[in-house]
């Protein structure tokens, strides 16, 4: 399927005529919204297949939690968690993305069948990442990132969050291209919740059009994040638990799709799969006038 305006997504992946839905499989004991639920590889694979049945276009497999304050997992453990799940899902025909900051994990996941590398550090955490991605010729998600999760909240300091995120994402894009990554394979992501307060996240979502001006497909990953908890908090100020933020996530999906995001990354797929179709139908109605 091809968009009416030409290519919308990165070279190396199929084209959808609407915002794509990336389902999340966290093979971790400690991710903030679903830690431990899919830690067993068989359960993780089944969950990935279920997400596809619910409408996911691709599935993002990660073995390291990046929630605020998280400590890093070691390389051998990350490989052990991620590679078998990637291999099994890819063998079942699922379009798999690997969520990792480690070049070795990206390389082995690509060998096991992953078709996209999603690095929340945009190549900053591991100097080998950009050479590996350039060599593998796979699409690459460059997320806005200011440092490891253990203390990233201290880096949520901006004079003008939109301007600074745009500037820092542009540097990430240039760094990847200088390292040999094909610019047509790069996806950018504002990194909601990474070194950002709830207000920063909302400002970035309000200005997705400015991020699109960087000229790359955009990935928006708002699913279940803290800023949604804050919006939904009751009178006492208590945010609902992460798993009760899926309707709010789908609302962001509809808005992101309308603003031209290439894809959204979500834990609960069905509502977002519906939302992108509604956004597409409204867009098509506007185009046919
Ligand atoms: N957020 C998380 C994990 N991976 N990848 C991208 N590209 N963008 C994000 O904002 C992002 C990500 C947060 O962890 P979760 O899997 O527990 O939601």
Contact 274, 252 (CB under 8 A): no
The answer to whether residue 78 is domain-embedded is: yes
Q: Is residue 73 part of a domain?
A: yes
DSSP state of 99: E
Task: Answer yes or no: is pLDDT of 4 > 80.
Answer: no
Mean pLDDT within 237-253:
95
pLDDT for 30 beyond 90 = no
pLDDT tens for 157-179 read 899 999 999 999 999 999 999 99
Does the CB atom of residue 66 touch ligand 1 within 6 A? yes
Write the DSSP symbol of residue 267.
S
Give dist(CA 145, CA 57) in Å, integer: 25
How far apart are alpha carbons 50 and 175 in whole angstroms?
A: 36
Q: How many CB atoms lie within 10 A of CB 110?
A: 22
Task: Give the integer Cα–Cα distance in Å for 101 and 243.
Answer: 25
Does residue 121's CB lie within 6 angstroms of at least one atom of ligand 1? no
| pLDDT at 5 > cutoff 50 | no
Q: Residue 59 belongs to what H/E stretch?
A: strand 58-62
Counting atoms of ligand 1 from 1, which one is nearest the CA of 219?
Answer: 7
Asked if residue 166 belongs to a domain, the reply is yes
Give a yes or no: residue 233 inside a domain: no
Model pTM score? 0.95
Examine the pLDDT at 2 and tell me if it is beyond 60: no
Among 191, 265, 266, 267, say which to mutate for ligand 1: greatest number of ligand atoms within 8 Å of CB: 265
Task: Note the pLDDT of residue 201.
Answer: 98
Q: Is the CB of 223 under 6 A from ligand 1?
A: yes
pLDDT for res 38: 76
Both tokens of 52, joined, read 């596809």
Torsion of CA 207, 212, 213, 215, to 10 degrees: 170
- CB count within 10 Å of CB 5 equals 8
Decide: 125 and 95 in contact? Cβ < 8 Å: no
Nearest CA to ligand 1 atom 18: 223
Number of domains in the chain: 1
Check residues 12 and 5 and name the one with the higher pLDDT: 12
Q: Is residue 258 in a domain?
A: yes
Flag whether pLDDT at 6 surpasses 60: no
- Nearest protein CA to atom 11 of ligand 1, as residue: 221
Is there an atom of ligand 1 within 6 Å of 116 CB?
no
Ligand 1: distance of its center to the CA of 65 in Å?
9
Q: CA nearest 212: which of 171, 156, 169? A: 169
Short-list 119, 157, 27, CA closest to 80: 27
Nearest protein Cα to ligand 1, atom 12: 120
- 60/27 Cα distance (integer angstroms): 10
Catalogue the active-site residues: 225, 265
* Lowest mean pLDDT across 7-11, 81-85, 106-110: 7-11
Does residue 5 fall inside a structural domain?
Answer: no
Site of tokens 């919204």 = 33
Q: Which of 58, 106, 120 to mutate to test the pocket of ligand 1 (most atoms within 8 A of CB)?
A: 120
CATH number at residue 282: 3.20.20.20
- Nearest to residue 166, comparing CAs of 146, 144, 137? 144
Can you give the residue range of the structural domain that contains 220? 20-228+240-287
With a 6 Å cutoff on the Cβ, whether 119 touches ligand 1 is: no
Ligand 1 close to Cβ of residue 219 (< 6 A) = yes
Position with higher pLDDT, 8 vs 168: 168
pLDDT at 148: 77
pLDDT band at 236 (very low <50, low <70, confident <90, very high): confident
Q: Could you identify the atom of ligand 1 that is nearest to the CA of residue 191? A: 10
Residue 247 lies in a domain: yes
Ligand 1 close to Cβ of residue 32 (< 6 A): yes
What is the Å distance from ligand 1's center to 45 Cα? 19
Question: Is 158 part of a structural domain of the chain?
Answer: yes
**Ligand 1 centroid vs 10 CA: distance in angstroms?**
19
221: Cβ below 6 Å to ligand 1?
yes
Cα gap 31→53, rounded to integer Å = 23
Region 41-49: what's the mean pLDDT? Answer: 95
């Amino acid at each position: 399927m091809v968009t009416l305006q030409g290519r919308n997504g990165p070279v190396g992946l199929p084209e959808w005529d609407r915002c794509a839905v990336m389902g999340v499989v966290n093979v971790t004991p400690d991710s903030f919204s679903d830690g431990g639920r899919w830690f067993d590889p068989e359960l993780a694979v089944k969950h990935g297949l279920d997400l596809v049945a619910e409408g996911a276009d691709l599935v993002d497999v990660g073995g390291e939690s990046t929630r605020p304050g998280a400590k890093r997992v070691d390389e051998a453990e990350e490989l052990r968690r991620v590679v078998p799940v990637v291999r099994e899902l890819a063998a079942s025909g699922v379009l798999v993305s690997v969520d990792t900051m480690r070049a070795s994990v990206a390389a082995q996941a690509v060998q096991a069948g992953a078709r996209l590398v999603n690095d929340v550090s945009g190549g900053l955490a591991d100097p080998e990442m950009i050479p590996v991605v350039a060599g593998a010729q796979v699409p690459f998600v460059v997320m806005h990132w200011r440092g490891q999760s253990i203390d990233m909240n201290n880096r949520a300091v901006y004079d003008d969050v939109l301007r600074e995120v745009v500037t820092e994402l542009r540097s990430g894009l240039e760094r990847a291209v200088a390292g040999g990554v094909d610019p047509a394979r790069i996806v950018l992501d504002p990194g909601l919740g990474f070194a950002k307060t709830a207000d920063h996240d909302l400002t970035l979502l309000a200005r997705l059009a400015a991020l699109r001006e960087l000229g790359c497909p955009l990935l928006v990953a708002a699913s279940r994040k803290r800023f949604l908890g804050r919006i939904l908090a009751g009178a006492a100020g208590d945010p609902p638990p992460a798993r009760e933020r899926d309707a709010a996530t789908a609302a962001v999906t509809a808005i992101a799709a309308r603003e031209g995001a290439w894809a959204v990354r979500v834990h609960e797929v069905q509502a977002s799969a519906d939302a992108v179709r509604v956004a597409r139908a409204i867009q098509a109605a506007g185009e046919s006038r």
